[in-house]
Each structure stands twice: as structure tokens, then as C-alpha cells.
Structure 1
């Protein structure tokens, strides 16, 4: 089961959802209203192969006065609890971590400020084995030349109890002209304003962990 979705092919999830809806005397339109999904989506889930996100699964469980465990587990009478999901924490290989870093564009940086630790989100790009981001010239991190810094990104599916996180430890420095050109072309800070100073994080350690629930 991946971190974003659950396949309907597992143990007739669609038929269990339909069975529970009918047992409650609800129409597809009523379930749609309870979940915020469309009636067509509910009908598709019940009758055809589909991919269900964790958020949709949680919404359906609530709408059907059930639980995620009851909907996804072996076919047992509703109200009879099965064993809970068993989480497994797995380390990730460096290449797996870098693939996730390359695919995303928002992470968090952590560094020591004047009086305390600071953690802030940043837009970034991964270029030539570096994390590149843009900031204001007068920001605290822009003055933080050649000091230790951490960069982190993660993704979680609360419905499926799955997720992953990647942590990069290294040092931050001003970007070179070529690196700045790459950052200007690929990084657009959401915060807006003048963010003309480009910084580069040179990684010295890259680690990651993944949680899978079975």
C-alpha cells in the first residue's frame, strides 16, 4: 500500500462500502452529501475498480458510522473490531530520499538564530547535489554563512497511517552566479516580496524514514 492511496482491489472494499450503506438505509446521494464527494464518485467506488485516497476513506468511514479498520479489514460484522493496523518504520536509501527531494519544491530549514532555534518553510529546488532557495538580503539565514543547517521535507496520509520524511544535514552558503541563475529559473517563493538572495545548502548527510501500515 503506498503513501497516498489504497487500491480497491484489496478484499472487496467497494462491496463493503456498499453493504454498509445499504445496511444504514442510505442512498448514494445521502452518502455523497455526508462526505462532500459526488454521488457519481460514490457509485464508482461501490461498483468499479478505483483508487481511494486516505482522506476519502476517512470521510466514508465517518459518513457510514464506521471505522477505517472495519472498512479495510477482513469481512467481519460491523461493530466487531479487528486487530489495528501494524505500523512498520523503515529506513530509506539515499537514492530514494533524493528522488523525493527532487520531486518536491517545498521543505523546511532549521538553524540556530540569535537566541533560539528557528524552523521555517521554504520553496526550493534540487540542483547539482545542492538545495537552492531564495531569501531576503536582510533575513537572519542570509547572514548565516557556512554554518550548520538542516533541511527537512515529509508527506503523510492520515487516513492510511502512512508517511515518509527526509532529513538533510549540511552547511549553508551564498549561491554562486550559476547556482543563482538556476534558483531564479526554478524557485518562486510563495511569501512574495523581494527575495533576491540565493543560498545553497551543501549536504553532508541525507537520511530518510518511511512508515508503512499493514
Structure 2
């Protein structure tokens, strides 16, 4: 029996195009000005220092901005970059530049599963802050109260089974009672290796998804926990 559901965001609850065509370009346009204007804030300075350490460089902030922009362009899953993007996106949400995209079927079933007593969590390469922003600013209202957990790459990479083992320890549930939803075969394989149940979301966006041995759903309407 499934008692908890952990869901990916991009390509699963949320359109790939929202992340690629809205969020990423917004952070690219605003990152240089954000660093110049907000670099003195302790939270921002900590993330910049972390990024500088990851990059292995001693240059000033202007040089670091160039590195950060290249990381965005190549979609690097690096914690300090994701943290900075989350802060930049927060300004965008607050100013009404965009809303968080969530599929109608995902919003509806997340509410239904929560009503049924299932524990819901998010696991995404985006920072916890960025996850909360997406679900907190949707056309369907604030969905964050539906979730009891938000996991990002601080628990490990999404294609590593040890990451899902860490999530299981945090949830304090047997692995077979936890369902993971994603549109990426390697993530589902890693979750399966850790003992979780899996469903592959194939929403018809982007390149064709290879679901492998995982059950396939074209929307949350077809997921059977």
C-alpha cells in the first residue's frame, strides 16, 4: 500500500517549457543586476562564495557572473546556482512577471491524494526555495500546504539511488510504501533500485521518453498509487 508520493517537477507536475522558456531566461536576464544590487546580502554572499569555490576561481563578482551564466546555459545542477536562481525568481513572482505553471490534472490529484491522507513531497534539482515558489504561485492558488517535504540536490543527485534512500530515511517509511513520479528514466531507475514504487509521466513534450520497465501515465489521471 502506498502511503507517500514523491514527485518531480519539470515534465511531471510542470511544463518543461515553463522552466526552459520562462524561468531560465528570466534568471539569465536578471542575474548580473541582481548580483550587483544584492551581493551585499549575507544570503546572496554565501551563495556567491559557494559558487566561487565550486568554480575553483578567485575572480571578482563580475567574473563569477560570467561563470554563472554559462552554468545556466548548460543547465548545471549546482546548489549555489540553484539557490541564486531561486532568489531571482522570487522577485519575478512577487512582481507578477509570471505564475508557477502546474498542470490542472496535477493540481487536482495532489489535492485529492492529500485529502486521502497520502503524504506528499517534492524532489527536484531546483532548490527547495524555488520549489516552494512554483507551488506557491499557481493559477490554482497556493499548493505548498499540500506538501510535507521538499527535497533538492542537498540529498544527492536525482540519478543516484542513495538519494532516494536518504529520502526514505527522512520520511521514516518502508521504501515499498513510497511512490516516485518522474519523466526521466534514469531517475526512476535510481528510485526503483532504492526500493520505491515508480510511475513515468509521458506528457508528449520534448524528446520521446524511454519509460523502460516503469508504468506509464500521460497525466496524473492515469497514475494508480
What TM-score comes out, normalization by structure 1 length? 0.30
Higher strand share: 1
What TM-score comes out, normalization by structure 2 length? 0.29
